[in-house]
Amino acid sequence: MFYFIGSSNSGLVSLFDFTQSLNRTSDSHKVIKEFGNLSCSTSSVKFNYKLNLMCFASNSLKKGIRMVNLTNMSVLSSWPFTQIDNKIGRVYDLDFSSDGKYIAMANNDGRIMIHQLPIIYTYY
């Protein structure tokens, strides 16, 4: 399945099925799931198709980053991970490695943090 997202200034992130939307003749596209876990606009969204994860962030909030398990459409409660929690700051961009095992985040301090995803996320 291929996804695309839309987001609002209020922080609502809407997930759509791209394949279904291409096959529709109407202008209305059905939202698969909406995530209201951030209270301000989203500045970065990335998909990790290998692990079926989505990560979205807002540079308006400290630690304004959320990870979603696309298998069951739930926000992972253990994200951000406790070992990097205090260093995250405001995330301006993020991306997953090509093998899907790492995430890189650029923050307001000018740092790029690269972290291995915990092994639990590699078994979805």
Model pTM? 0.80
Distance in angstroms (rounded) separating the CA atoms of residues 105 and 23: 35
36-57 pLDDT per residue, tens? 888 888 889 999 988 889 999 9
Predicted local distance difference test score (pLDDT) of residue 64:
86
Ranges 11-15, 85-89, 93-97, most confident: 93-97
Predicted local distance difference test score (pLDDT) of residue 18:
75
Q: Calculate the CA 106 to chain-centre distance.
A: 14
Contact between 97 and 105 (Cβ < 8 Å):
no
Return the domain boundaries, the chain.
3-116
Q: Which top CATH class is 3-116?
A: mainly beta
When pLDDT is averaged across residues 93-110 and rounded to a whole number, the result is 92
**Is residue 97's pLDDT more than 80?**
yes
When pLDDT is averaged across residues 15-22 and rounded to a whole number, the result is 73
